[in-house]
Chains A and B, each alone.
Chain A
Amino acid sequence: MSNEQLNLELKQLIIDTLDLEDIGPADIDSSEPLFVDGLGLDSIDALELGVALQKTYGIKLSADSEDTQKHFASIQALASLVSAKCPGEA
C-alpha cells in the first residue's frame, strides 16, 4: 500500500470511529495536528483511536507514554507508526 493510500485509510478510520459528521477524508490535512488545534479531537477520542488501532492493525499503545503523543500528532505520524509496526500495510 502506498503512503497516500495508508493516509486515506487512516483518515477514513478516524472519521468512522469518531463519528465525525460532515467531514470527509479531503477535509483532513495529513500534516495538521489531530488534537485540540487542528481537527479538534479530545482525550476520549485519543482512547477510542487507541482501541481502533489495536482492532485494525493489532498495535498496542501505552496511554501514558510520550511516544504515544508523538504517534498521535498527525495523520503522517500515525502512518509512520502503522508502517513501522505492520510492514505489510505500507
Chain B
Amino acid sequence: MQLTIENWHGWMPTIASTEQWQRWSEGDAVDVRDNSLDLSSMPPMLRRRLSPMGRACASVLLPLINSDDEAERTNTPIIFASRHGEAQRTQLMLEDIAECELLSPTAFSLSVHNAISGILSINKKITANISAIAASGSEVMAALFEAAGLLSQENCSKVHCVIVDNPLPASYQRYCQQPQYPLALAFSVSRGQNGCKIELQTAESQTDDELQPLQFIRLLLGQKKCIHLNQGRAHWQLKRVC
C-alpha cells in the first residue's frame, strides 16, 4: 500500500518549525518549560473551550486547513487520534464525584474524545466527516489505516490526520508514563504525486520505544528512510519511496 504525505506540522514545547524539528532529530534537548502557543486568530469565546491539548491540536491542524480552498475544506475528512484524550478533565471530574461535588457541565461536554475536533470544526465551519480514535499507542498506524479506507472512496482525494497527547495526570503515571511531553502532529494524506510517498508493508516485529508520532516525524524529515510501527499484533514497515 502506498500513501502520500502532502504536508505536515508538528508541535512539542519550543519545537514547531521544520528547522526546529530538524535540530531535535539531530539530538537537541527539549525545553519543556516553554509551553506557549499563539492562537490569537481564534475567537476568544471559542478558544476558552480548548485545553492545552486542544490548543496544541489547533496549532498543528489549522495551518493545514487554512491552506485548503473552500471546496477542499468542505470535503476533506479529518481523523483525530489520541491515546489518552482529555484525561486531565476526566480525572478532575472523578475527584469531584469522590467529594460529592456537583459536576461541571462544561468539563463533562469537553471530556469526550471528539470534543476538540468539534470545537475546531465550529471554528473553521467544517462539515466533512470527522472521526476520533484511540489506539493504545498505535495512533499513527490507526490514523493511516483510517485514511487509506477513506481515500479508497471515489469522492475522497485527501484526508487530514492529527495525533495528539499530553502526559497523564500524576495518579495514572504508575500505569503509563508516555508521553513525557505534550505532543501534536498533523499531516495530510492523499494518493497524489506531490509530497513524501510512503510504502507500507507487513514486517517482522521490531521494538522501538520511541512514540509513533516522533518516529513518523523522523521519516517525514528524511532522517530515517524506513521505520517500523506496531499496531496491536500487526507489524508494519514504512519506507520512503520519494
Complex partner residue of B48 from A20, A51, A54, CB under 8 angstroms: A20
What is the CA–CA distance of A51 and B109 in the complex, to the nearest angstrom? 14
Q: Is the CB of B44 within 8 A of A22?
A: yes
What is the CA–CA distance of A68 and B118 in the complex, to the nearest angstrom? 28
Interface 9-residue window, one of B4-12, B79-87, B100-108, B191-199: B100-108
**Count, chain B residues at interface, CB 8 A:** 12
Chain A residue with the shortest CB-CB distance to B49: A19
Complex partner residue of B105 from A22, A23, A40, A48, CB under 8 angstroms: A48
- A17-57 CB mask vs B (1 if < 8 Å, else 0) is 01111110000000000000000100011011001001100
Chain B residues with Cβ below 8 Å from A22 are: 44
Chain A residues with Cβ below 8 Å from B106 are: 18, 44-45, 47-48
Q: Is the CB of A51 within 8 A of B105?
A: yes
**Count, chain A residues at interface, CB 8 A:** 14
Tell me whether B235 is interfacial, beta carbon within 8 Å: no
What is the CA–CA distance of A22 and B42 in the complex, to the nearest angstrom? 13
What is the CA–CA distance of A46 and B104 in the complex, to the nearest angstrom? 11
Q: Is the CB of A40 within 8 A of B45?
A: yes
Q: Which chain B residues (216-237) contact chain A, with CB distance < 8 Å?
A: none
Q: Is the CB of A44 within 8 A of B105?
A: yes
Chain B residue with the shortest CB-CB distance to A51: B102
Q: Is the CB of B44 within 8 A of A54?
A: no
Q: Is the CB of A48 within 8 A of B44?
A: no
Chain B residues with Cβ below 8 Å from A21 are: 44, 47-48
Q: Which chain B residues (76-132) contact chain A, with CB distance < 8 Å?
A: 101-106, 109
Top 6 A-B residue pairs of the complex, sorted by shortest distance between their CB atoms: A47-B105, A19-B48, A48-B106, A51-B102, A21-B48, A21-B44
B interface, CB within 8 angstroms of A: 44-45, 47-49, 101-106, 109
